[in-house]
Amino acid sequence: MSPDYLHHEYTARINRVIDYIERHLDEELKLGKLAQVASFSPFHFHRIFAAMMGETLNQFISRLRLAKARAMLLQNPKKTITEIAFDCGYSSSATFARAFKEAHGLSASDFRTGKSKIRQMDSNYHQMISKYRKAFHISSMYIDPTTHQQTWRITMQHNTDIKLKADVRIETLPAMNVAYVRHFGPYAGDEQLFERLWGKLCTWAAARDLMGGEDARFMSVYYDDPDLTEESKLRVDVCMTVPEGTQVEGQVGNMRLPGGKYAMAKFEIDATQFRDAWAAVYAGWFPDSGYQPDDRPAFELYLNDPKEHPEGKHIVEICAPVKPL
Residues 185 and 91 in one domain: no
pTM: 0.79
**Statement: residue 261 has pLDDT above 90:** yes
Asked whether 242 and 254 are in contact (CB, 8 A), the reply is yes
Tell me, yes or no, whether 313 lies in a domain.
yes
| Sequence-ordered strand ranges (E) for the chain | 136-138, 142-143, 150-156, 166-173, 176-184, 218-222, 235-241, 252-257, 260-269, 291-293, 298-302, 314-324
**Distance, CA of 288 to CA of 261 (rounded, Å):** 17
- How many domains, in total, are found in the chain? 2
Tell me, yes or no, whether 271 lies in a domain.
yes
**Statement: residue 24 has pLDDT above 60:** yes
Tell me, yes or no, whether 123 lies in a domain.
no
Domain that residue 294 falls in? 171-324
Residues 178 and 319 in one domain: yes
Query: Quick one: average pLDDT of 18-40?
Result: 92
For the domain that residue 185 is a member of, what is the CATH number? 3.20.80.10
For the domain that residue 88 is a member of, what is the CATH number? 1.10.10.60
Residues 176 and 105 in one domain: no
CA dihedral 199, 321, 161, 131 (to 10 degrees): -130
Query: Quick one: average pLDDT of 150-177?
Result: 78
Residues 70 and 213 in one domain: no
Q: Which of 80, 112, 144 is a domain's end point?
A: 112
Side chain identity at residue 300, one-letter code? E
Residues 213 and 304 in one domain: yes
Kindly report, residue by residue over 70-93, the tens digit of the pLDDT. Answer: 888 877 778 899 999 999 999 999
**Statement: residue 192 has pLDDT above 80:** yes
Tell me, yes or no, whether 151 lies in a domain.
no
